[in-house]
Amino acid sequence: MLRTIGHRLLLLIPTLLGLSILLFLWVRALPGGPAVALLGERATPEAVAEINRQYGFDQPLFVQYFTWLGQLLSGDFGTSLQTRQPVIEEFLRRLPATLELSFLAIILAVGIGIPLGYLAARRHGRASDHILVGASLLGITIPVFFLAFMLKWVFAVQLGWLPSEGRQDPRMDATHYTGFYVLDGLLTGEWDAAWDAFLHLILPAVALASIPLAIIVRITRASVLEVQNSDYVRTGMAKGVSRSTIRSRFILRNAMLPVITTIGLQVGLLISGAVLTETVFAYPGIGSFLARAIFTRDYPVLQGFIIFIAIGYALINLAVDVSYSFIDPRVRVS
Amino acid sequence: MLHTSRRRWLTGAAAIAIGAVVLTACASQREEGGATDDGGDVDSTFIFGASGDIAGLDPAMANDGETFRVSRQIFEGLVGVEPGTADPAPGLAESWEQSEDGLTYTFQLKEGVTFHDGTDFNAEAVCFNFDRMNNFTGLAATESLSYYWGKLMRGYAETGTSIYGGCEAPSETEAVITLTQPFAGFIPALSLPSFAIQSPAALEEFNADEVGGTAEAPVLSEYAQGHPVGTGPFTFDEWSPGESVTLSAYEDYWGEQGQVQEVIFQVIGDTTARRQALESGSIDGYDLVAPADLGALEDAGFNLVNRDPFNILYLAMNQTVPALADIRVRQAITQAIDREQLVTQVLPEGTEVASQFMPPAVIGWNEDVTTYEYDPEAAKALLAEAGYNESNPLTLQFNYPVNVSRPYMPNPEQIYTNLASQLEAVGIVLTPVGEDWNPTYLDRIQGGADHGIHLLGWTGDYNDPDNFVGTFFATPGNEWGFTNEELTSALTDARGLATAEDQEAAYLEVNEQIAQFIPGVPLAHPVPTLAFAERVTSYPASPVQDEVYNMVELSE
């Protein structure tokens, strides 16, 4: 298995190399450039030329690409043109925020999605099944930014139950060690801060969870339906195997394989949802920073962040593949 | 089996419902408890919703509005601004004198002022700051960092083009700054946060001039990342990049300390999100309220505060387009536009119609400047004279930005729609091109010749005519696409004048020259609006955004 994992990791190299070329070209193809973005209304041709010269944007594209690649290989991801901080630091500073949010979103999606999907399958063809299928269709089709906006309008602006933006009340004098605000509050015993950070997570997490939740419901339902009609389940029942064993070991465990794959894919896709959700909730994570970088043509941030995200995505999928062998002994990673 | 699963389902639903109730109860409890945090009658924390993060904490190396907003709380300059106007007023200098030749300025400094680190503010500190900026090298000496020094002092010691001659400190309270060329805008320019006086001790201790990294990858100095020290009413506490900046009242401030004990600038990039943050009570106020939100916010009891407009919104005409090189066409466009209608229909209340490319408060504004009255028939006649009629209509690209609100252009889409219908009424055929503001739109306007007529404008940084008409017309550029040597030389000469009196005469003339040449249509001076929570009873709105929060008054 270790050999396979090693092989998969090696495959990452050509993948990332290909991505780096596409990414580099896409970023350069965006109209306008960072110099105009930095200077705004008062950009004079001389000032633009000067900035392009300083940053090397006046060089031929292939020279810029290989310069960047060279830096990348030596572990230098460049510096944000907007914040003038190293890209790697900007990424690491915002990573805990997005992980915390994604973690809660995926807990919601899995924790609610699997039981609901299972329930729909067990009640196949009845009203509750139809309602769940309909609701999940709505969950998939409703645009994330719209849902985020509505959640905020109802629960933050109109009802005032939950905070409307940010990660923590700025008046809170909280200590931060790890950058995971809820965890920090728990570690330092600042319960107030932990609770406040948690409240700030709820609305964006619900918005972010909507699509994965709906997809998990549908996949679980389909998968359970397929498995529960299979021969071995019938045989098990005929042999008098207890219902709970049939449910947990015969049906659920076998039905989980496609669900796990879906969860893996959805975790990777969370980041695209985070770009929109974080922007609506002014949540200072990777997504909102990436959105801003697109508007300001912050080339190093766009290139660096997307490479990091791609690596993360590849690793998550590798982890999903490896996890198959634990869930289904028939599958051996080879 | 079904029975069991139904029971479980019900149990699950009940658990979720209970969870929701508990959560709600806790949330509302927090809200009630969190209203006052220092036990007094007034919550002395003022939270402002900033539209973006700051670029750094060293104002000498910044040029954007959000950074300046924070800088103005921490730092003060030699020269301030008369409250509510754009006119220079004493700041850290109580008075100043200009020599006969206009090149030497002697400042009498305020006594008993200390920096937040406890060191004294004196003439040596003043000279240290000016020498420092003039001696910027490498990346520190580029427009993306020290824009204002480079622009206004025309360079640095290392480039050899700087008009800064030097600074002397004959006594603790007297600083003498010499320029090598006259610059009438020098005193008003000193009110910019870029020229604020920072603690020499702190600048040195935290290596403020070390813009780290390599030339391709500059990194802010340690000072600019977290150790700004000035003389202002607020001291720096914390900067959480991308999230917020926190300041607290400086106990030994020489002036009025005011009610606000803590200032928090919370970054909320999205305009709608800022409005919702105000509505939900998580911020006390924000800037650049969208005109469409004004009515709803006012009805809901929020306080709206207008700044006196110190800006200009114009319709520019690109003369590289052959039709627009014809002055008859340019005059026709001018006469086809009813500016009164534009102002009353789509711009915020209080907006004034513009007659020239600067607001009335600026030196050299010409009361008697030539104007072209709204007259669609005259416009049609001029177009016909230029060879355009129904069978051969004038066809133009109309460029405008979308999804953006600038202080001088709160709603570009509506402004475009209004103007387009007026221009179409005289038979002009328009090809609308709406693009994202920055950098797409700006790049199209400034980066090349592929544009026709377009919307743009400017908010003045300080009271200097060169900051308006000089910015637009002093050097030929892609935006206007013309070369007018007479105008260029008039503007270059005016830039070299030594006093405001000399400037007045020169710019009256320049404004008339521009009006005769019709490079574009000055449209309006729109009013920028801020919105505040009901508890904010007074806010020191300033046309040049010189707004310091020790003057904010809170009622609860």
For residue B305, what are the β-bridge partners?
Answer: B530
Asked whether the beta carbons of B288 and B51 are under 8 A apart, the reply is yes
Mean pLDDT, residues A181-191:
90
Average the pLDDT over B88-95 and give the result: 95
pLDDT band at B4 (very low <50, low <70, confident <90, very high): very low
Q: B388 exposed, middle or buried (CB, 10 Å; 0-12, 13-18, 19+)?
A: buried
As given in the structure block, the two tokens for residue A89 are 């630091």
Asked if B281's CB is within 8 angstroms of A160's CB, the reply is: yes
DSSP string for B351-410: -EE-SSSS-TTSTT--TT-------HHHHHHHHHHTT--SSS--EEEEEEEES--BTTBS
Q: Write out residues 178-237 of B within 8 Å (CB-CB) of A.
A: 213, 215-220
Chain B contact present for A167, CB below 8 A? yes
Identify the three-state secondary structure at position B50. strand
Kindly tell me if the per-residue pLDDT of B27 is higher than 50.
no
Q: What residues of A are in contact with residue B30 (Cβ under 8 Å)? A: 195-196, 199
Within 8 A of B47 by CB-CB distance, chain A residues are 170-171
Q: Does B114 touch chain A (CB under 8 A)?
A: no
Preceding omega of B439 cis (within 30 degrees of 0): yes
- Match 């980041």 to its residue by tokens: A271
Question: pTM here?
Answer: 0.80
pLDDT, residue B28, reads 38
Cβ atoms of residues B67 and B198 within 8 Å: no
| Interface contacts A/B by beta carbons within 8 Å | 179
Phi, psi (rounded to 5 degrees) for B502: -60, -40
Shortest Cα–Cα distance, A78 to chain B (Å): 6
Nearest CA to A48 out of A68, A62, A66, A34 is that of A34
Predicted confidence (pLDDT) per residue in B320-355, tens digit: 999 999 999 999 999 999 999 999 998 888 899 999
Whether residue B234 is predicted with pLDDT greater than 60 in this model: the reply is yes
Model confidence over B400-448: pLDDT tens digits?
998 777 889 988 999 999 999 999 999 999 999 998 887 788 888 887 8
Band (B24; pLDDT cuts 50, 70, 90): very low
Q: What span, in angstroms and rounded, lies between the C-alpha atoms of B6 and B3?
A: 5
Interface of A with B in 26-45 (CB under 8 A): 31-45
Q: Which two tokens stand for residue B383?
A: 């177009």
Q: For residue B121, give Cα distances in angstroms to A95, B109, B116, B188, B229.
A: 42, 9, 10, 21, 11
pLDDT exceeds cutoff 90 at A229:
no
What is the distance, to the nearest Å, from the Cα of residue B208 to the centroid of all Cα atoms in its chain?
25
Cα separation of B419 and B316, whole Å? 12
Give contacts of A 305-334 with B, CB under 8 A.
none
- Residue B37: list chain A partners with CB under 8 A: 171
- Residues facing B400 on adjacent strands: B434
Cβ–Cβ under 8 Å, residues B405 and B451: no
| Per-residue pLDDT tens over the stretch A276-332 | 899 889 898 998 888 888 888 888 888 888 888 888 888 888 887 787 777 776 765
Which chain A residues touch B12 with a CB distance below 8 Å?
A: 115
Name the residue type at position B407. Answer: P
